[in-house]
Amino acid sequence: MIKKILGIAPTPTADGAFSPSPLAIKLGTSSTTDYDGGAYTKPYAGAKNRVLMVCTEERNMTMANGKKFSTGNHPVEMGLPMLHLMNAGFEIDVVTPTGAPVAIEAWAMPADDADIQKLYRDFDAAFANPGSLADFVANDMEEATQYAAIFIPGGHGAMLGLPENADVGKVLHWAHDTNLHTLALCHGPAALLAAKSDAGFLYNGYKITVFPDAVDKHTPVIGYLPGPMPWWVCEKLNALGVVTINKKADNSVHVDRRLVTGASPKAANDFGRLAAQTLLNTAR
């Protein structure tokens, strides 16, 4: 009752999970974004003009206390990079592990941002009926020459179903072996864990920006999460040799070889521009 009065009680959802508390929504989301317009003087016009966006299809994360968090892909962390990539001349192919609909954190949607709202209207059908990553890996991946990058958007949902998915591991190795870029934002780097094999970890020694464990450990205090995390992204990546270079959930972005990363929703615009410009620079 006290938490409800203070606005820090997570909000129950129809399926028994919890979305963030009113205070957490107020502090952690915004009705607009810092999208800078995404103008590029010379958009890409070559043959490698597609980006494979690997999204989660799972919504509810079971926390360490057994409560479920209603998550998915964060609409800003997915949307702003998409806008930048498209304005830079690239097309987005949406896939989930099995082809089930993309799970999106609706509670984080910036309702007054015209660019994001239009994007989600335009991609409504693609999010409802995405391609299957399993089918892509089995039937198309080895012969696919039209891709410049794969993109793993953020949201805690990136921790669900992707880090242990064999097809995600295969597509990450394929991107690495064929000199494609890999783009991952906020909790998106959790999916990189799928690139662990008997031969070692693909990103051992890489430096990245990512949503810090320290912040995830404090967010239950304001009701952003309904309980402690079931596991820690940075902890698992660090144990495999990844170096996390940011300490805050800020606008930090980084490029290490062909891996482009960003730290948080605050980095979505800068990450999108860095990703798009990096692809353009490589193409040229």
**For residues 106 and 74, what is the distance between their CA atoms, to the nearest angstrom?**
8
DSSP, res 73: B
Tokens for 75, please give them.
């609409």
Of 229, 155, 158, 149, which is closest to residue 183 (Cα–Cα)?
149
Say if CB 182 and CB 176 are below 8 A apart.
yes
DSSP, res 223: T
Catalytic residue among 158, 186, 276, 280: 186
Query: Hey, how many other C-beta atoms are within 10 angstroms of the C-beta on 46?
Result: 10
Question: Is there a catalytic annotation at residue 186?
Answer: yes
**For residues 266 and 75, what is the distance between their CA atoms, to the nearest angstrom?**
12
Helix (H, G, I), strand (E, B) or coil at 235: helix
| Active site members | 186
